[in-house]
Structure 1
Amino acid sequence: MAEQTMLEPVVDLAGLRELARDMVVISNRRVPLVPNIGVIGGRHSVLVVETGMGPRNAETVLKFAADYAKGRKLYLTTTHFHPEHAFGARTFAGEATYLINRDQAEDLRLKGPGYVGMFRGLGELVARQLEGVELGQPDIVYDQAYDLDLGGRVVQLRATGRAHSKGDQVVQVPDADVLFTGDLVEAGQFAIFPWFPPHDTDVSGTRWLAVMRRLADDRPRVVVPGHGDVGDAQLLADVRDYLQLLRDETWARRDSAMSEETIVEEISALMIARHPEWAGREWIEKGVGCLCAEHCA
């Protein structure tokens, strides 16, 4: 992840883009460790999706959202607990109602402190954004599904079950046919597998693939990935197809009793040849490790 410290992970409002009526995304401009951030409006309320990493980024997002809301009630949700997505939630306390699924709330409580330390170790530019960070506490915790009425627009929050993390959530806006995926989907990048045994092994390649099959079947008009350029349903198909190929090629080699080191070498070469333009090549190895562990599970 050394390449991720080359640019400071700062939310930049220059990345603002309109997705539909009363709905914008603050694009991450392909800056590592900056998420795509959604702001979704209805008659009486506005929902913010993601906070950016740490209090300073969150202050930028909150100020923009408050100005955008023009007096409407503010809500906040995050697609999963990882630092660039959720570690600014404390800044919204008292200004917005924070709602997430139960598994994500548990991830935040149990794993959040460890991830603060881990991400600070990624370099000075990342550590700077985490100065003074305090983990947020959700105001509303739901189990599997929550329909949020913003006034004339209902936003559907759906826990997907364990995939990229244990508490993944997608955010659907049916009237505009827009889907926010968090890190279940990245554009122009190999899938991020936070496979860090023995510290964190919640990511599941097989369950992630099952989630992507369901999402791809819905074919939304607009897909907002966790990182990278906004796209359409092809983004979902790309991730589905990559995960399926990664699983099949890993398991075929595992069946032949090939060493994991050799599997990584062969599959990395195969995937890079298929997607030479994709970033995040270091995540291929993590994906192979995860799927090797799941092979006989």
Structure 2
Amino acid sequence: MAKAFASQGDLTEKTITFDEVGRDLWAFTAEGDPNSGVIIGDESVMIVEAQATPRLAQKVIDKVRSVTDKPISHLVLTHYHAVRVLGAAAYGAPQIIMSDVARSMVVERGQEDWDSEFQRFPRLFEGHESIPGLTYPTTTFSDSMTVYLGKRRVDIKHIGRAHTAGDAVIHVPDENVMFTGDIVEDHSACYCGDGHFADWGATLDRIAAHDVDAIAPGRGAALVGKEAVARAIASTRDFVQSTCVPAARVAARGGDLKEAWEAVRATCDPKFKDYAIYEHCLPFNVSRAYDEARGIDTPRIWTAQRDLDMWAALQG
């Protein structure tokens, strides 16, 4: 019998931190679990990332209420993954914002992704009975849009494919802080199972060009100061390249998925084995890198059954 996914055995509750990354800008982080962001305006609050369930979203709300009693008016979802969006119901009825592409991915593969992630991450979906269904945006944008929380301007942008085809970043100009979703991580593995390796580096370049003073990443600790920002962008770039290059070499010589797995491990293990969720992500990352190297531009949809079939193939 094949061993379980690493994520299925990850049952320990994580320690939550809540760090101010700029004036009235907060990063909710939890030791490699999905992060959320909080942007407090003159009259209301914007949340970035909903969490996986209303139960987990309530932990974000509790932290928000520790610093402000202003109503939550907006919820921005940087992409479609279940662990980011299915907790939306906890926030009441805010305006829910996604890119056009991210919404199309909810339609195309949202239920399959939910089923897949539910199987992989039982801890994150505790309290799943309270999820009312798939989360759809009330507002979408193609390239960019601006929201004013009173006088505070918030720019929401789709600057390129990376973690998914529809990733959004959120920039708050008055403090020069960015919320990047899973395009940038800090001491956490990037999940690349629905990613675009060939585009990811250019998207990181566009983030770097903003020259921000702080980043709230998708996973990992808040990044305050230009040195921390540059370090995390560089380590994210290294992680992505260290995954895709060995897999591409195997694909080019006609090797199979398990050979790609072994080649990626040989490169990545020495550098990233101690990163949060490294083992959780690795089989999905290798599968996507191997597919892209063989010319599959649109990531294949992960389903609960495809997960198991892939894992069985890697177990030999």
Q: Same fold per TM (> 0.5)?
A: yes
| SS of structure 2 residue aligned to 1:227 | coil
Write the distance in 1 (CA, Å) between the matches of 2:63 and 2:252.
Answer: 53
Once structures 1 and 2 are overlaid, which stretch shifts more, 224-233 or 105-114?
Answer: 105-114
- The residue that corresponds to 1:145 in the other structure is 144
Match of 2:28 in 1: 26
Aligned CA distance change for structure 1 residues 48 and 5 (closer, same or farther; 3 Å): farther
Q: Which residue of 2 aligns with 1:277?
A: 274
2:6 to 2, 5, 8: 2
Aligned partners of 2:280, 2:28: CA distance in 1, in Å? 26
Query: Alpha-carbon deviation of 1:261?
Result: 2.2
Question: What is the match of residue 110 of structure 1?
Answer: 108
Deviation digits for residues 13-62 of structure 1 (CA, Å, limit 9, x no counterpart): x52211111111222233xxx32111111222321111222122223434
Identity of aligned residues (%): 24
Inter-partner Cα distance in structure 1 for 2:279 and 2:10: 16
Counterpart in the other structure of 2:239: 242
State the distance in 2 between where 1:247 and 1:65 align. 38
Residues 66-125 of structure 1 show CA distances to partners (whole Å, capped at 9, x for unaligned) of 66443456211111121221111123243x221111122222233222233223323653
Name the SS of the counterpart of 2:187 in structure 1: coil
Is residue 86–residue 135 contact of structure 2 (8 Å, CA) maintained in 1? Answer: yes
Please point out which of 200, 207, 217 is paired with 1:225: 217
**Contact 2:53–2:87 (CA under 8 A) maintained in structure 1:** yes
The alpha-carbon distance between structure 1 residues 246 and 64, as it changes in their structure 2 partners (threshold 3 A), is closer
For residues 8 and 130 of structure 1, the distance between their equivalents in structure 2, rounded to whole angstroms, comes to 17
Tell me which residue corresponds to 1:166: 165
- State the alpha-carbon separation in 1 of the partners of residues 63 and 270 from structure 2: 41
Q: Are 1:87 and 1:133, in contact at CA under 8 Å, matched by a contact in 2?
A: yes
- The 8 Å contact of residues 251 and 295 in structure 1, kept in 2 or not, is answered as yes
TM-score (norm 2): 0.79
CA distance in 2 between partners of 1:136 and 1:287 (Å): 25
- Answer whether contact 1:55 1:132 (CA < 8 A) is retained: yes
Q: Which residue of 2 aligns with 1:89?
A: 88
Structure 1 gaps, min length 5: 195-201
CA distance in 2, matches of 1:127, 1:71: 28
Aligned counterpart, 1:16: 18
Q: Cα RMSD between the aligned structures?
A: 2.6
Q: In 2 relative to 1, CA 294–123 (structure 1 residues): closer, same or farther, beyond 3 Å?
A: closer
SS of the aligned residue for 1:36 comes to strand
Q: From the superposition, tell whether residues 9 and 76 of structure 1 become closer, same or farther in structure 2 (CA, over 3 Å).
A: farther
Hey, what's the Cα distance between the residues in 2 that align with 1:89 and 1:100? 13
Give 5+ residue unaligned stretches, structure 2.
224-228, 296-316
Q: Is the 8 A contact 2:80 2:102 kept in 1?
A: yes
Q: What's the TM-score, normalizing by structure 1?
A: 0.84
Give the superposition deviation at 1:296.
4.3
Equivalent residue of 1:138, what SS?
coil
Aligned length: 284
SS for the counterpart of 1:61 is: helix
More relative contact order in 1 or in 2 (CA 8 Å, sep 6+)? 2
- 1:250 is displaced (CA, Å) by 2.9
